[in-house]
Structure 1
Amino acid sequence: MTDQPEVVVVRWPGRSPSDEGGLAELLAAYHLRTEAEKGEAVAGVDGLPDRYRAEILDPRTAFGGDVVLVALSGDTAMGCLVVTAPVGGRAELKRLWTDPACRGRGIASGLVGAALAHAAENGVETVGLSVWTWRTGVIALYERLGFTVTESWDERDQLVCMERAL
């Protein structure tokens, strides 16, 4: 038996501005790790490409038309996921990240489940995502949650595109 606090997934930005710090930290960790995995490691947020730095510095603007889900334990942000605004019955999942110290607790699957429920509530028929080939653990998670590999819609090398019908 464990005494781990309950993790709650909230739709952000419906929370107070104080929650932006936790989201910004999660996004920074995600982007810094991704750049390192691509062989383009940078020392800090200032070294990230402008588009990624903008997400970290001003997520409300960067994801203005999207829904950001944040997994919280108390006031601590433990994970995040962006669900893009639907276009033509389709939405995309982006920026799935769980704080490495919090992994193994079902946070990522909880975020994806909440994202799928949100998409279905908003008339989305298909949810897509792209993931780097070396992220085999998250690819396996997506497959367990019903996503299948599909033809790529992204020109970048080493990117796997996946979809799931709702």
Structure 2
Amino acid sequence: MTDPPEVAVVRWPGQAPPLPDGLGDLLASYHLQTQAEKGEAVAGVDGLPDRYRVEITDPRTAFADDVVLLALSGDTAVGCLVVTASVAGRSEVKRLWTAPAFRGRGIASKLIRAALAHAAESGVSAVRLSVWKWREDAIALYERLGFTVTESWDEREQLVCMERAV
């Protein structure tokens, strides 16, 4: 048996190719799974709300002011996370996703740690995120990495808001 290839975390734009192959596929999987978990399953990307379709089809525009962190196995994107531009000294982490075939290898933890490092380099004082309450494994991961539940800034029901000082 051979060891799985090493997974590297890179920034886009910046260290990664101009538009990495697979980013749209990761975002599509993330949004389709989320819609299904919310009880609003759709047959494909065309059934997603416009704001999500734009992320998938044109991430350059959707994340123009943000940094996308990608976990790459060779040239293949196997995980992603978006760090928003700072607002009032805070950035937000969103769209954390690891391709199912690559789960259990610490990729999500690597992406979050890279997001925290990027935030620190950018002079951000805190990083926040929101997560659906049924994503208990994700909440546990965030707690292990120092995030704590905080007052909600989002009106959507069943959303847990968390924050961590950088």
Q: Which amino acid aligns with 2:95?
A: R
> Which residue does 1:44 correspond to in 2?
44
> Which residue does 1:140 correspond to in 2?
140
Q: How does 1:30-109 map to 2 (within 5 A)?
A: 30-109=30-109
CA distance, structure 1, for counterparts of residue 128 and residue 19 of structure 2: 31
In the TM superposition, residue 18 of structure 1 has moved relative to its aligned partner by 5.2
Task: Please give the TM-score of this superposition, normalised by the length of structure 2.
Answer: 0.97
The CA RMSD measured in Å over matched residues stands at: 1.1
Q: Which amino acid aligns with 1:16?
A: P
Task: Please give the TM-score of this superposition, normalised by the length of structure 1.
Answer: 0.97
CA distance, structure 2, for counterparts of residue 17 and residue 127 of structure 1: 26
Contact 2:12 2:18 in 1 (8 A): no
The DSSP-based 3-state class of the residue aligned with 1:131 is strand
> Which residue does 1:114 correspond to in 2?
114
CA distance, structure 2, for counterparts of residue 139 and residue 24 of structure 1: 25
- Deviating runs (4+, > 3 A) in structure 1? none
Structure 1's unaligned 5+ residue stretches are none
> Which residue does 1:16 correspond to in 2?
17
CA distance, structure 2, for counterparts of residue 13 and residue 119 of structure 1: 15
The DSSP-based 3-state class of the residue aligned with 2:22 is helix
Structure 2's unaligned 5+ residue stretches are none
CA distance, structure 1, for counterparts of residue 8 and residue 17 of structure 2: 15
Q: Give the count of matched residue pairs.
A: 165
> Which residue does 2:126 correspond to in 1?
126
In the TM superposition, residue 2 of structure 1 has moved relative to its aligned partner by 5.4
In the TM superposition, residue 88 of structure 1 has moved relative to its aligned partner by 1.5
The DSSP-based 3-state class of the residue aligned with 1:162 is strand
